[in-house]
Amino acid sequence: MQPPTPPAPEAPAPPPRDATEEHRFPCEQCGADLRFEPAKGRLVCDHCGHTEEVEGAPVPAIRELDFRAALDAQLPAAEMEETRVSRCPNCGAEVEFDPDIHAKECPFCATPVVTDTGTHRHIKPRGVLPFALDESAARRAMRDWLGRLWFAPNGLQQYARRGRRMQGIYVPYWTFDAQTASRYSGMRGTAYYVTVTVMRDGKPAQKRVRKIRWTPVSGRVARFFDDVLVLASRSLPKTFTDALEPWDLAALEPYRPEFLAGFRAEGYQVALPEGYEEARAKMDQVIRRDVAFDIGGDAQRIHSIDTAVSDVTFKHVLLPVWLAAYKYRGKTYRFVVNGRTGRVQGERPWSAVKLAFAIVTGLLIAGALGYWLAQNPELWADGVSFEPSFY
């Protein structure tokens, strides 16, 4: 009797997928890397000019993921990925780098960064909002914005005009969907008026006074929230990114690496549970407005709101931002441009020279006006107004 045949050894598990490698697309004519060109909506080779359509195997439609399954670490393995990232020691940004790049400046704060070889396991992006503005359009928008700042240093404006190219960054966000049902109690205020007697110039006069009659109320409201957007990055001040809104989320495309060709993507730093807490705070604000509307009347008091949340889903999406970080006289200035609309936001620079000049000029004008009025007291004495004549 032949001994049983030993089982064949299991094939080694494939190495973790490096997403940065998927973001490189060689030109079929010259072999150089293609990049996504927003103005054309195609992949373009800067070396030979060859273009290719963004096409290939069909990609699944954008699908929401179950929030509870993610919290319990029960998402399918296909929804997770490992990417090689570098963490900036200054601002904490986690930015993907190409495999052959080992040193670079952080695009968020211009700090020199030496990349490591570690990987970051995270939830895959499900959707991406492709860039619609190219770098030159974003730079023009930034220059126009700087030009409207009266007290910005001239040196910074000139430095920005001749500075390095802006960086195209896909910034991570979470979106949350949820069904909510809320019970509330409060008071409805109904306005009425009474006539009272008051003294005016020593004489009695009638006056109408507004009063509120309060009635206890309770009720229910319900709302389905769709795509509540939460920033998943800590690399930029939230005031910057909030000012870039609104985002046309209806134009989200199913994630495919071609859209990232020639750009960089930041890994999310705000964990999913923390992102949900911020989304709930946004939902609660809307629910509170719904309750006030449902109470009605002329005024409202809300005593309590008890909200049940169900069917919570989420997705990880990437939104396009053009970013410039300039070091000027030892200080870093950061500017961000919405890669779809061209809306600009940034750290407002101030010129000490311009401010001092404006203050001195204002004091001189005030002093001259005061001296002139002192020499012409008849123009303002006894409440007489002065109106200049023009010839």
pLDDT in tens, the chain (391 residues): 444 444 444 434 333 333 334 456 788 888 788 888 887 778 888 888 888 887 655 666 788 999 999 998 888 888 888 777 777 777 767 776 655 454 566 777 666 665 554 567 789 899 999 999 998 898 888 888 776 655 555 555 555 555 567 888 899 999 999 999 999 999 999 999 998 888 888 888 888 889 999 999 999 999 999 999 999 998 888 888 888 999 999 999 999 888 888 888 888 889 999 999 999 999 999 999 999 999 999 999 999 999 999 999 999 999 999 988 776 666 777 889 999 999 988 776 544 454 555 565 666 677 667 666 676 666 555 554 444 443 3
Structural tokens at position 55: 């096409």
74 and 203 inside one domain: no
Rounded CA separation 391/15 (Å): 86
162 and 265 inside one domain: yes
Boundary of a domain, candidates 162, 195, 218: 218
84 and 114 inside one domain: yes
Structural tokens at position 245: 């809104």
C-alpha distance from residue 258 to each of 22, 34, 44, 265 (Å) = 8, 9, 11, 12
- Chain-centre distance of CA 83, in angstroms? 23
Range of the domain at 191: 186-218
254 and 108 inside one domain: yes
151 and 245 inside one domain: yes
Rounded CA separation 32/124 (Å): 27
Structural tokens at position 257: 């690496």
Structural tokens at position 203: 């004489």
157 and 198 inside one domain: no
130 and 75 inside one domain: yes
End-to-end CA distance of the chain: 125
87 and 128 inside one domain: yes
Is there a domain that residue 32 lies in? yes
pTM, whole model, 2 decimals? 0.75
The torsion defined by the Cα of 24, 28, 32 and 38, in degrees rounded to 10, comes to: -60
31 and 127 inside one domain: yes
Burial class (CB in 10 A: 0-12, 13-18, 19+), 235: buried
51 and 157 inside one domain: yes
Domain tally, the chain: 2
79 and 145 inside one domain: yes
Residue with tokens 């490096």: 18
Is there a domain that residue 310 lies in? no
194 and 271 inside one domain: no
User: Could you tell me which residues are beta bridge partners of residue 344?
Assistant: 337
